[in-house]
Structure 1
């Protein structure tokens, strides 16, 4: 297998020239040959704009063919690319741009009602705004031959910052290619698969999926936004074989199938995949019952260590774990924390002062996730170390309470956080989205938790009702916003 992302683009074009690798919701599609050609022309356009091999290009594009082509173009040119998820705004974007100091920032002039061009220009670097109807800069001029970057940083991805400031993880071509191993080897993405994606291609999962498609002949169908009322039906028109990737998406697919009645909306569907956050047991069972697959195949990874584990769609009890370690990945448990070592491990942070806390003395990455490794090497995640509520010196797992709350009648969605308490240090707050027409009370939730067997000190002592939980584009709940 090629050792660079551009090598994968070139190999796919030579070996499967007529295979469509990316399509979109607007009727466009690129074969591997057309994709390579488009990337070469954009690489030349960037070079004409002053970008040289080794320069950093920050880009904040929605999930479009242009974004995929730009990824390949930067790889062809040998630039260091810094994808930024589109929902980041001034606080996050300014922080990132000031830290990586890019040669060029590529953004849409406006997208989804927001002026990305104005924001980027206010930050100082050279800005190249684009528009889906205009496209990226292109040229037919010669550009320097691609070189193998070896262990050099070629990708900088920032975490979503669910609990703190985003942190920039530095990756190589080799590490992002290794991120596709779990997708290909265990989840089984392959020729003939069609996977609609409405989550950010700028997330590190985006390059993992693009690399997986280039390796196997699968087709990605890109959607630049997700409307739960209309997107599932538009996805269905492409006859997807795979659907993902987080609880809000699965709720939308289930509702769409219910709207379709007896007509099977996704007749070619063979598997569902979950990532970003655990799929609740109730949702997993509904997916199996309504969509006709065995459940949601779990996967686990982090910005620093993408797709560390994956289930296979045919696993017994699919959806109850995050699967087995991907090829070359080692997992160990230290004081309850899962630690990782393997080929997709990042080089370190842009802010190198963070590295000492990220790795232990043997070079294992401290994930901050709490879990176990069970029979057959299957990994279970039970929560985050930072997602622990300390009440009267007792540690309480927020995820344990969330699992119980999601089975409470009248509760559509729920999250649990700790909030300061002068007497106990912290107390348990339940943040709940009620089902339409349902009345949820703190007393009712506490009684449900007691009947489910939770110790009294774990039962909610505070209730916040919200219309929806704030989430990252990959489905993780932004808990920092629930403690204010």
Structure 2
């Protein structure tokens, strides 16, 4: 990390970070979207005017403001305006509907709720008003898609100076139960973004990209990196290939990514014209949020002509480890990178535990907080892994992804990594299914590669035997699907849906 970025990373609040970056490079762009751009100086000035408008509507330091907005310049302005006031923000992923949104509003006790009106065919304003009627203290609903409140900054109180107070409530995906409200501070988000910036070795000449929801924990993670280094990112309100390629090309994006599913989508497009670089300016794909099979790394480097670095993070700890572009191919393919200074990793009975400034303060529910931390303040991740002699973290799966067959533990990830190398497999998820005799049986659920010969269980097990997989780990069932079920944020595979379907 450069000396300037290192100094900026010491900022106590996000608003202080905005002020310091705006003073350094006021005329450089921070966000690019279609034919629009916003400079660091304008981010400071416009956010403060929006803050004044919100203040006149009744938003005060400590007010809880939920917002469910797409990845747009206006969304960033609203978020930084709330940071200027010192409000508590509760971002909600735009794809969530009544159940998740109603839960978030009720549990956070939001006094205000900003929505995009009707967006991509769904009436968010209608849902917001409908849900408000069910709450004992309904929030004030604000339409914040393309117009924001405006006012005179003279009405504002001084900006917050304390970066360790809880001012963010993020929501876990809630795929198997109600979401958890994750509590973050400005300092925990700055620490997470600094970890990402430290690992990627970026410069002011880079152009990044946001193809994920700004309301995801990756939103502040990435934005902090922009503020530390003073380079812009292209915002995609809706990401789909090949339509989004024009935005990458026209803005000269040098750093792209998202998660493993994004890498696969880029590879699919690259393979349509293998002799022409998909994005000529691209030098780095970077992301995290889901397991990365080693073969994906090798395919990206080989076919797209750029480097790939992958990291490990979660809503509770937005950035834990990250691969560095100058690391060895073996480490980049098979590990999640190394932690930055200040992130402690402890392995307890094979499980990864974490302690550091980027770790959340816990959950809205105190009982969930008590369960999530051990007696020494380490956050219990539920992920399995080990740390190599060089300090790299290797994840081997999740506790719930361990299949127990006849008393033997089987890693779903080990089988998935091998099947990802099969020419006929586009994507795969391995799950355990209940079995009265064995406890669980191994089931491989596969998306076939386009044009590939139809897979059979015998062919899959023969392939895995040939790769040296132990007999007791071989799948006993194969399911071929058109598409694996995924969430709408980082496109993670929803294994619980597969278990429900095939149990």
In the superposition, the TM-score normalised over structure 2's length comes to 0.92
* Match of residue 456 from structure 1: 471
Match of 2:5 in 1: none
Q: What residue in structure 2 maps to residue 368 of structure 1?
A: 382
| Residue equivalent to 2:30 | 21
Partner of 1:64: 72
Alignment partner of 1:329 is 2:317: no
The answer for the alignment partner of 1:392 in structure 2 is 406
SS of the residue 1:23 aligns to: strand
Per-residue Cα deviation, 1:394-417 (whole angstroms, up to 9, x for no partner):
211111111122122311110011
Establish whether residue 52 from structure 1 lines up as the match of residue 60 from structure 2. Answer: yes
1:135 pairs, out of 101, 126, 147, with 147
| Separation in structure 1 between the aligned mates of residue 98 and residue 334 of structure 2, nearest angstrom | 38
The answer to whether structure 1 residue 153 and structure 2 residue 161 are counterparts is no
Residue 358 of structure 1 contacts residue 366 of structure 1 at CA under 8 Å; is this kept in 2? yes
> Could you list the per-position Cα deviations for residues 131-187 of structure 1 after superposition, in whole angstroms to 9, with x for gaps in the alignment?
64x322222252222121342101111112345432111011111100012222111
Whether the aligned pair in 2 keeps the contact of 1:9 and 1:214 (CA below 8 Å) is: yes
Aligned-residue Cα RMSD (Å) equals 1.7
Query: For 2:326, what is the secondary structure of its paired residue?
Result: coil
* Partner Cα separation in structure 2 for residue 115 and residue 421 of structure 1: 44
For 1:293 and 1:314, the matched residues in 2 are separated by 12
Structure 2 unpaired stretches of 5+: 1-9, 133-137
Measure the CA separation in 2 of the matches of 1:200 and 1:90: 18
Paired with 1:6 and 1:97, the residues of 2 have a C-alpha distance of: 25
CA distance 1:281–1:363, change in 2 (3 Å): same
- Structure 1 portions without partners, runs of 5+: none
Q: How far apart in 2 are the matches of 1:189 and 1:161?
A: 34
Corresponding residue of 1:275: 288
CA distance in 1, matches of 2:273, 2:140: 45
Matches within 5 A, 1:238-253: 238-253=251-266
CA distance in 2, matches of 1:214, 1:307: 16
TM-superposed CA distance for 1:347, in Å, is 0.8
> Secondary structure of the equivalent of 2:427?
strand
Aligned to 2:6: none
> Where in structure 2 are the equivalents of 1:208-227 lying within 5 Å?
208-227=221-240
Cross-structure match for 1:12: 21
Q: Describe the shift of the 1:165–1:447 C-alpha distance in structure 2 as closer, same or farther (beyond 3 A).
A: farther
Q: Counterparts in 2 of 1:189-338, with a 5 A limit?
A: 189-260=202-273, 262-294=275-307, 296-317=308-329, 318-338=332-352
Aligned in 2, Cα 1:166/1:361: closer, same or farther, shift over 3 Å? Answer: same
Provide the C-alpha distance between the structure 2 equivalents of 1:268 and 1:51, rounded to a whole number of angstroms: 43
Contact 1:405 1:411 in 2 (8 A): yes
Aligned-partner Cα distance in 1 for 2:176–2:418: 23
> Aligned equivalents of 2:192 and 2:357: distance in 1?
8
Distance 1:150 1:242, change over 3 A: closer
- The equivalent residue for 1:470 is 485
Q: Aligned pair count?
A: 481
Provide the C-alpha distance between the structure 2 equivalents of 1:167 and 1:470, rounded to a whole number of angstroms.
21
- CA deviations over 1:171-211 (Å, ceiling 9, x no partner): 11111100012222111233111111111111111101111
Q: Is 2:357 the partner of 1:346? A: no
The TM-score normalised by the length of structure 1 is: 0.95
The answer for the alignment partner of 1:123 in structure 2 is 131
Give 3-state SS (helix, strand or coil) of 1:58's partner.
Answer: strand
